[in-house]
Chains A and B, each alone.
Chain A
Amino acid sequence: MLVCTKMKKNYIYKAFGLIFNSDFKIPELLIGSGNPDVNIELGKTPNQLQKITKKGVKYEATKNEFLLQVDHIAKYYVRDGEKIIIQLLKDKVDKEVRLFLLGSVFGSLFLQRGLLPVHGSSIKFKNSATIFTGLSGVGKSTIAAHFIKLSYRALADDISVVNQHLEVVPGFPGLKIWSDVLDKLEINNQNLNEIRPNIKKFHVPINEQYYSEPVPLKNIVILNTKNSTGFEIEELIGIKKFNAIKNNTYRYRFVQGLEKQLAHFQILNKLLPAIKVYKVSRPQAPLSLNEFGNFLLSNIDLNA
């Protein structure tokens, strides 16, 4: 009897120090090789999880599972830090499906694996990495893009993952930048892709200025705005230092749902003595990126 099996095509990528085996193309990621750590499949996700430990508006978590729904786009199911199942709510995989995969879904995957995802962008200065973190809209990607323009190399945008060796592992070679910031950086957006229709935030590829090896983490800079002129810097120590990183952990509420508080606490405890954490405040507006970049370079030992 002749059995005809259709060969399932798959794609191997390397991102955040992990090998991904995917059912579909993820052009944002770099091609990789080797045994996969994580499988990404199109399929049917559970409708809901059992024994939920944390619930959000659009997600549910248990000790080892995570389920996220993005209306009209997809449902994403992440299990044991090894498997991602995507159930499409639209006709095909496109940049919108991938946007949420590379964001919240990857965030939950990293937490399941006991990694530390920090909400921010990371730049390799001389032999070490610095993560710029802080609230949304504070200018994390903007300052990263500024340093990239000055010929420094980037490791990650939006989610910077710290591994057990206290290194920042490279994510993928792209930034997401809003239209007004592109203007400020004098980058023409004509040939850039919007992250989604009707949102004036663009994918900016940074191929040559992406650094693809892990780099020891040296500094975390918590960006902040203030309503007075001039810049201010404070080195955080003790409980303030601990809380600053905890609060800027990507999707910290997932940590509780995935019952990863202990793993999270342990990696923070290991990390904190090895790095410096600064709170840097800059005026709300107007902001001169050159002045701000120079302030950071001259007040923090970035090039250590």
Chain B
Amino acid sequence: MPRKNIIWLASYPKSGNTWFRVFLTNLLYETDNPANINDLAETSISSSRKVFDDYTGLSSSDLTFEEIDKLRPDVYRIQSEESNELLFKKAHDKFYWVDKNQPLFPPEITKGAIYFIRNPLDVLVSFAYHSAKPVYKMISSINDSNYAFCDKNDKLQNQLRQILGSWSDHAVSWINQDLIPIHIMRYEDMVNNTFNTFKQVVQFIGLEKSDKQIKIAIAKSSFSVLSEQEKRDGFREKMIRTKSFFRKGQIGDWKNHLNEQEVKKIVYNNKEIMLKFRYLDSNYKPIF
């Protein structure tokens, strides 16, 4: 009998996934000092090339993207089988089927998925900064239904290919599937209503933690703690051309960076999901 011991931490980039992983590490380990951002707990990314190669016994660099995709669910099955504990696995992939019989993320070993979502206007600004790319290019990526990470076939990239689709495709793929129980975390709620939002997710995971423990873990994962740590020691998940990973984390920072045309391009392509998650009012005007 497979055991349901994997929790997917799924998100489009720049939506609070890393913040949550720091919180989780602080919550699980309860060390005196805040968790080291360069040593986060058991949250290896599901597109890790090393994990894939180790568990399949094959070099992913000798396989096509499609061949890799078909083997990925079995990698997670073996990881699940070998673990007596809950496994948290970060994923930027959208939820999709690798062949007609199985989705990338196997439901029979999954306890649940946490889906992090953030206003795509703020995602855009943060993502452009993080990737050191101009805003207009990032708009194309966010609206591109074929968008993927590490999908070049003329060179070896550090992770396996991850198909994201557009910002809306990504959200729809996770939210509309009904094979895996899902808990949605809005970034804006993580910022504005921190304790309640984090408490709910702790309950979803099924961790027995007191309010006090949750509050301490939140404090040890605050933006200022993370930003200080990065200034002091660096953060290995930062891209080389970016000054810092933990930039501002503010809600509505897009107003300082985007012009009307740029806003329109995002809203036009993503309005249904933006409306659904209360990023737009009924007149399609941004709320945050």
Contact = CB atoms under 8 A, between A and B. Distances in A.
Interface in B187-238: 234-236, 238
Given A179-B154, A199-B62, A227-B234, A56 B56 contact: yes
Q: Is the interface of B mostly helix, strand, loop or mixed?
A: loop
Interface string B138-166: 00000000000000111111100000000
B62 A195 contact: yes
B258 interface: no
B153 A137 contact: no
A285 B78 contact: no
B49 interface: yes
A252 interface: yes
A201 interface: yes
A56 B64 CA distance: 19
A99 B62 contact: yes
Contact of B236 (A199, A227, A283): A227
B199 to A, nearest CB: 34
A200 B49 CA distance: 18
A99 B59 CA distance: 10
A68 interface: yes
B229 to A, nearest CB: 15
B67 A137 contact: no
Q: Is the interface of A mostly helix, strand, loop or mixed?
A: mixed
A285 B152 CA distance: 16
A5 interface: no
Contact of A253 (B54, B158, B235): B54
Contacts of B235: 227
A220 to B, nearest CB: 18
Given A227-B234, A253-B55, A137 B240 contact: no
Contacts of B67: 71
Interface of B: 49-50, 53-64, 67, 70-71, 74-75, 78, 152-158, 234-236, 238-240, 242
27 contacts: A56-B55, A56-B57, A57-B55, A57-B56, A57-B74, A57-B75, A68-B57, A68-B58, A71-B67, A100-B58, A103-B58, A103-B59, A103-B62, A135-B50, A136-B49, A136-B61, A136-B156, A137-B49, A178-B154, A179-B154, A198-B153, A199-B64, A199-B153, A201-B62, A228-B234, A228-B240, A283-B240
